[in-house]
Amino acid sequence: MYFKFVYDKTLAQASYVIGCQEKGIAAVIDPKRDVDTYIEIAQENELQITHILETHIHADFLSGSRELALLTGADLYLSDEGDEYWQYQFPHIGLKNGSQIELGNVLIEALHTPGHTPEHLSYLIIDKAICDEPVMLFSGDFVFVGDIGRPDLLDKLTGDKASSGIGAHQQFSSLQKLSKLKDYIQIWPGHGAGSSCGKAIGAVPMSTLGYEKIRNWAMQFSDDKDGFVEELLANQPEPPRYYAMMKKLNKEKRKLLTEIPVIDNLSEKAYKKAKKSGLQLIDTREWNDYAKGHLKNSWNITNYDSFSTGMGWLMNYNKSFIVIARKGEIEDVTRKLMRIGMDNLYGFITPKQLKEWEKGNLVSAKTIDKNELKIRMNDSDVKLIDVRSEREHNEGHIGNAVNLFYGTIDENIDILPKEKQIIVYCRTGGRSAIAYSVLESIGLENITIYTGGWVNWNE
């Protein structure tokens, strides 16, 4: 059996290629949208991709299943479990609990594991060349290393306030089903640490069922359903805004993108015309470079691993935008945007072009260091804002700081005291710069970034 683990650290998302080398065929499970990765893997190993599977309708990334099927001619195998709202609305081969797929000497068996979502499937893998017992489980967003998938996303996406309780009870039943399998089965989940699909996902890429029975908090409630439900629903991170769009695009017919788009490096004339028309400018430089000199009304979302998430929180899917990025970075930026279906990138300019074309229009951000903050933080004309997540804030924060998460700070403009100096901080500075840029673009002027952040404050 051939096996390949493919990991996108920008969204903490795992996908898999498995195959039968004797027959020269392969299946891909939960592919990301830039599917050239899987085609290259197949070519390098003399395999033909014939099967494409998904564990569920994803909310955190745009699946590349249909792009990959179009390019390879492979069949789509998707869940036909769940109610009408959780049904795929495009042609596919439907799978139910117990459905089996033969992939040469590899047998794939679908296991209905609802909870995270009603239609969720996990896939047991039997390598018939070795034995007739399952040896692996691709668990999707059902079981992670040290955690399980959250059931409350339906609350945010459908407005069904009862759905999280229903999902939590389904997760409990699915875990009961899982616990009956052999302890040696390897668990290969759909996400690693950093994903918002769970609250305590481990950084190790895989585990075994036996290990999870001992170490996974969710498997310690075998006789306490009420305690399990209460713990599962507590302290889940706020799901990014773009999740609702991903559910829609992953379920319905949409535009397929079978290659990485080539983004235009705009001329000065084209740039100024686009700027005049109101296109949003996304400055992807390091936040301290942005602070030294930037254009008002631009948003600073640095091209870190979290770039996709930041864009997903803030950018309207119906609006076009321009990015400031070096030429060598633009393909990486484009891939990150593709993975969340954000296809309205109009063009880009380089930092050098920005400085040349906007000479005299660039402004610097106000910053404050640790010593200055200690002096000013208790002044009556200062408001300290922690733009980290609620969970981070509750674990520890500076003085009397108010928690306004950077991803939703634009929704809280009315409660910000415009007559006071607003000092924003995060962990190390990146999210503070995002918040600063959003507030500045809305018209607030008396804003300051604490450059050290929570890490520096604790040193």
Query: How many C-beta neighbours within 10 Å does residue 57 have?
Result: 24
Alpha-carbon span 403 to 386, nearest angstrom: 5
Q: Are 438 and 410 in contact (CB under 8 A)?
A: yes
pLDDT at 415: 87
Q: Are 208 and 184 in contact (CB under 8 A)?
A: yes
Q: Residue 424: beta bridge partners?
A: 385, 449
Same topology between domain 268-363 and domain 367-458: yes
Closest-CA residue to 27 (of 86, 100, 113)? 100
The pLDDT profile of the chain, 459 residues, written as one tens digit per residue, is 999 999 999 999 999 999 999 999 999 999 999 999 999 999 999 999 999 999 999 999 999 999 999 999 999 999 999 988 899 999 999 999 999 999 999 999 999 999 999 999 999 999 999 999 999 999 999 999 999 999 988 676 566 666 788 999 999 999 999 999 999 999 999 999 999 999 999 999 999 999 999 999 999 998 899 999 999 999 888 889 999 999 999 999 999 999 999 999 999 999 999 999 999 999 999 999 999 999 999 999 999 999 999 999 999 999 999 999 999 999 999 999 999 999 999 999 999 999 999 999 999 999 999 999 999 999 999 999 999 999 999 999 999 999 999 999 999 888 898 899 999 999 999 999 999 999 999 999 899 999 999 999 998
CATH of domain 268-363: 3.40.250.10
pLDDT at 149: 97
Alpha-carbon span 441 to 438, nearest angstrom: 5
Q: pLDDT tens, 133-155? A: 999 999 999 999 999 999 988 67
Alpha-carbon span 369 to 358, nearest angstrom: 28
pTM, to two decimals? 0.95
Alpha-carbon span 411 to 459, nearest angstrom: 32
Which tokens belong to 173? 């039943």
Q: Are 435 and 424 in contact (CB under 8 A)?
A: yes
Side-chain-side CA neighbours of residue 131 (13 Å): 6
DSSP string for 372-418: HHHHHTT-TTEEEEE-S-HHHHHH--STT-EE--GGGGGGGGGGS-T
Cα distances (Å, whole numbers) of residue 437 to 114, 284, 366: 41, 12, 11
Q: pLDDT tens, 100-111? A: 999 999 999 999
Alpha-carbon span 271 to 128, nearest angstrom: 59
pLDDT at 161: 61
pLDDT at 222: 84
Which tokens belong to 57? 């309708």
Alpha helices in 216-267 (DSSP H): 225-233, 243-251
Burial (CB count within 10 angstroms: exposed 0-12, middle 13-18, buried 19+), residue 77:
buried
Alpha-carbon span 289 to 80, nearest angstrom: 50
Q: pLDDT tens, 331-390? A: 999 999 999 999 999 999 999 999 999 999 999 999 999 999 999 999 999 999 999 999
CATH of domain 2-251: 3.60.15.10
Query: Helix (H, G, I), strand (E, B), or coil: what is residue 222?
Result: coil
pLDDT at 163: 79
Pairing of strands 345-349, 321-324: parallel
Domain ranges for the chain, please list them: 2-251, 268-363, 367-458
Pairing of strands 136-140, 121-127: antiparallel
pLDDT at 223: 87
Residues 6+ apart with CB under 8 A from 426: 386, 387, 388, 406, 432, 435, 453, 454
Range 367-458: architecture per CATH: 3-Layer(aba) Sandwich (3.40)
pLDDT at 413: 87
pLDDT at 380: 93
Backbone phi, psi, residue 334, to 5°: -65, -45
Closest-CA residue to 184 (of 148, 136, 224)? 136
